[in-house]
Amino acid sequence: MTNRLSPGDDAPEFRLPSSDGSDVSLSDFRGRRVVVYFYPAAGTPGCTKQACDFRDNLAELNDAGFAVVGISPDKPAKLAKFVADEGLTFPLLSDENREVLNAWGAFGEKQNYGRTIMGVIRSTFIVDADGKIEKAMYNVRATGHVAKLRKDLKV
């Protein structure tokens, strides 16, 4: 079974390549709250809906003090195309070897059309300004998730 993070846990540090070619670390966001979300694959219908929801709500999240970062096992070139195609305005990071996905409990067994498979578990985390997990949400739905998140965060 995959280890799951809980509120109060230290958020596992990462340094990953982004869609724009730069490296991004969790520590880059120290001092502010950050939404870190994990998704299966850039350009798929659910992942596109979720990314566009974050894009469309980014100003309100930023105004409330939240940064947003998306992480998937896609290659940086695929992420760059996804960013360009959808006009995304927040970092998308590539975790091709799935080390970060595993460290955050966002890769493991999941149900897909009634079958148990290994894959990315769509998950969202709120990391506080000190690098601690404030909220851990596993198996979230792509549609409506950002609206629910905003409600939970009172944004």
How far is it, in rounded angstroms, from Cα 13 to Cα 104? 10
The distance in angstroms from the start CA to the end CA of the chain is 34
Tally of CB atoms within 10 A around 122: 21
**Residue 52 annotated as catalytic:** no
Q: Which of 47, 111, 108 is nearest to 83 (CA)?
A: 47
3-state secondary structure 33-51: EEEEEECCCCCCHHHHHHH
Could you say which of 42, 47, 69, 142 is catalytic?
A: 47
Residue pair 93/16 in contact by the 8 Å Cβ criterion: yes
How far is it, in rounded angstroms, from Cα 14 to Cα 23? 10
Q: Residues with catalytic annotation?
A: 47
